[in-house]
Structure 1
Amino acid sequence: MSYCVNPNCANPNNEPYATSCATCGSSLKLRNRYRASRPLGKGGFGATFLAADEGLPGFPSCVVKQLRPNTQSASVMKMARELFEREAFTLGKIGSHPQIPRLLDYFEEEGNFYLVQEFVDGETLKQEFERRGAFNEIEIRKILSEIFPALGFMHENGVIHRDIKPANIMRRKQDGQLVLIDFGAVSSQVNKPSADDDPSGLLTNFAIGTPGFAPPEQMAMRPVYSSDLYATAMSCLYLMTGRSPKDLPHDPFTGEINWKSQVKLSDRLRVVFEKLLQQSVSQRFRSAEEALRALESGSIPDEVPKASPSLSNNSPAPAPPSSVTVRNANTPSPNSRIHPQKYSSSTQFDSGMMTTGNTRAGNNSRIGTGTGELKGGRRVIVEYNQGKRNFANQDYSKSSFGSATLAGIVMSRSKLVEADFCHADLTGASFQGANLSQAKLNSANLREAKMQRAVLIKSDLGSASMILADLREANLQSAYMSKADLSGANLSQANLKGAYLSQANLNGTNLCGADLKGAKITDDQLAQAKTNWGTIRPDGSKRLF
């Protein structure tokens, strides 16, 4: 059977090899290649269909995802297109993994957006639960041991799924392996649509994920990698209890889910769930790999010493098994069995209170000489605020600099793989020769930045301001640069193969000698830029523009 994907078609069922719909007249082959046979699911933001790829021998099955915002708002449609393009870019960046369906194609046709993915035959964990009932601890442990490696692979590629739930975890019929599906809310730092641009809330809901399974920071549009870990644990609670997260009892003062009374777990698995379901991001596992190690070993990583609750001047400060009484701000008890130097660089004793060097609240006045205990992006930001500017030849991979003001910073030849500079002010910054592969620079201010010969492979520069930036000989292969402002920027001899430059401002951009083979860019955009005989067009040809 052929199925018409026109959302307004009254009778979408058609004969197997019909070319057009008998009811509405729409073509039954998308892109003259993909023929839908039946719907797999529908929602307010789109639909998915089982289809056959008639462009390949044997007509193999695939899944066609149709993105169709139920609105006439031009601003919402514009944002929908950007979300679609970013999702396609992100899925393409993930590459190939046995537990993640591959992206096969993406295109726009008659005002609708389409993603084509590998078809996974099987049933979701939600369907499995409805068929057979609650899962036991052994089964839950096995689910976690299979999901964590897939999440780890995604996170290593800078991708947050953002919609982990039983309906989006499928058990493949072929081998019984669990597969993550429906990357509709997939994120590599998708920005929150404003209420003015999205009055219906359609895009906001689309970008958030599923309430209940998503943790607090994700509902606030600030997802992190451990957000997926939280959602995975919530999914397991559903599989053990049959109750949606919103139906579980919660503490009316803290908002935390009272899940322990709903399930019976061994002590070993209970401590893993306690850490997975922490409301505070800082208290959860830092990575899927760490969570998997804890699951397999039954031990939780040691915690960094935390600041104690407020104590009076005469109260004893928290201590290891032997009691320590703090007599005054500077002198520890002579009878203490803890050597005072143990906390010398990371902990200060002040009026009977113990505070750690990495305490966030009210620590600005204490950082001073304590930066030795800070790491990565936080240390850079602190030292920058103290006047330091040269951070060249360092390794800050996966560090976070989001929204920081770092104008004029020097990070030449530094390793910044997967670093997060979202919304950061990097005006006049120096990144010559730096490795920024897969870095997140969306909406960053890189005006007049010096980035000659920088490596920015698969980096996210969406909506970044790069006015007058110097990117000569930079490697921007497969970079995402949608809506970036590159007016007056110098990209001569740059590698832009496969780069995504849709809606980027290229007014006066120097593309002489740049390689744009396979890049997503229009002739109108190229007409605004400076090119020469050495510029390689998206089709691979060389000629004057």
Structure 2
Amino acid sequence: MVCCLNPDCPEPLNSDENQYCQSCNTPLVRLLRGHYRVIKVLSDEGGFGRTYLAEDIDKLNEWCVVKQFAPKVQEASAIKKAIALFQEEAQRLQELGEHAQIPALLAYFEQDNYLFLVQQFIDGENLIHELRQGVTYNETQVIRVLLDLLPVLKFIHERGVIHRDIKPQNIIRRRSDGRLVLIDFGASKQLTATVHTKLGTTIGSHGYTPIEQMEDGQAYPGSDLYSLGATCFYLLTGIAPSKLWMQQGYSWVKSWRQYVPKIIGSKLGKVMDKLLITDIQQRYQSANQVIRELKKQPLPSSVPPTLLTVPPTLLTVPATHQRLFTVKFNNNLRKLLLVNVVILLLGFGGIWYFQSFLKLNTTEISENADQPKTLKGHASDVNSVAFVPNGQTLASGSDDKTIKLWNLATGKEIHTLKGHLKWIWAIASTPDGKILASGSADKTIKLWNLSTTEEIRTLKGHTDGVATVAFTPDGKTLASGSLDKTIKLWNLGTGKQIRTLTGHTQAVPALTFSPDGKTLASGSWDKTIKLWNLGTGKQIRTLEGHSELILSLAFSPDGKTLASGSKDKTIKLWNVATGETIRTFRQHSDKVNSVAYNKTANGIILASGSSDNTIKIWNPTTGKEIRTLKRDSGYIYSVAISADGQAIASGGSAENIIKIWPISQ
């Protein structure tokens, strides 16, 4: 199906063969900005734009949210002002996306006279949906909601941002870890209010919006706190503040306690009283004030929210993009109980994380791994990183169509390689560090001389984007995997194609050679891994066990074990000789985009990068997690371990940067 991007279209979904919308006759855009495939409308902003669910085809069909702003004004000055405000707001959202409980900003741009924001898709249910599914909140759980969200408000308020529309619909419980994520910072709403021709346009929702914001459009940190208090009232009572507001105006807040089914303690009662005061001067002025008030006394002992008997929740998209999310309430209960214990142990509030210092034999991650070296220079997402075996250089490939070479000692950019016409998805260096290969969405592979930084040649033959490249240990053969479902082997000396390996039924985004150079492993979106005899080009065996797309592969240094990362959020270790699964790592909470093996001075480590914004280091022998190196707002698309085992590099979507993490010996 193709979704029409006319914000006024009454029936935006069209069949694939349509060139024009069957409902409004608008020309259909199949790929927004060349790589966002819009699937369906998520919400309508009253004719001023829409919010859509979309897929990023450059990120292996990763889901994202596209927000469209279509100002209904004709004056050039008003449009110019709207665009300027839009850019300013996008920059602000990019900064806010650094917080783990705020969706990351992935892109913003203008196209066809519309303005667009692209943000991270949060897999979960909003609080209003929980209430409608039978979840009830007691006093303890409401306090925990406050302690989960108040640090987020503190974060945005310290950066001069007021949310203006806090309500249960804009708070999502993330499925992976149960944390609450604050969404919809209302860039389009604020812009609409700015350029709207009607006077008195305000942002907010009746019942949740304080009087100062409703009357004159002014909003302050205390305004968001009022909205949070109204949200907690809804959770406690199951009564929508909007209904009370329609009946009583703001007078309902003075007697809010009469609607609560059970008597609540003085601690929460006192906080709610001050959150819901009509006069902003008497209200809490900062999130920090509320946090301090809540921390004065320990939480009352209680149980998680009551889950009434309801059917599993399913989120369904059109058939061609079908994905079902099922909420398993028994699992949620166990997760919530665990969260309760953790919060009690840690003393509540803030954003907490654990750092594991489990030893791998005698190897430890150094203490300064929390201050990695940061390399900045790319203008878009960094999809691939690779250490050059000379030990002095790192290479990176990006959506900005460039490859950059970096001096590891200084962190400075050495050179930028240009030539690809589209996004660069994969890079790899020969074992001698003389040649770099790059695979691109432009369907080509380029070979680069790393000494002269000149292009050697371009390899053509794939009929779709090249998602992965890998060199044999002797550096004589290059393998490439493509969205065209094939693997091609190339003679590095002549640039000629040796053979094409077929057998996968979907795209091939992962390739790796065994250390002896005799076996090639390929991972596919068809959920299988295939092992190939490099000499004959014949299949050895197929490994099956992942429930979702295979995204990354790596052989162990001895060649006996293969690691695979998948969209199913797991890493599997396979016995190469038998094809059997050795173990499965399940600690990531989102898809595993990259895995890398290598030796350190004291043992073998496995690194993994995930869309859950973390890099994890594992002891592959014991299956234990050693440490989580990174947690920030961006997806991790690629990880690499240096040849000497002293550093780990990561690239991803967070601010288009690369980080180098030292490993002490």
TM (normalized to structure 1)? 0.48
TM (normalized to structure 2)? 0.40
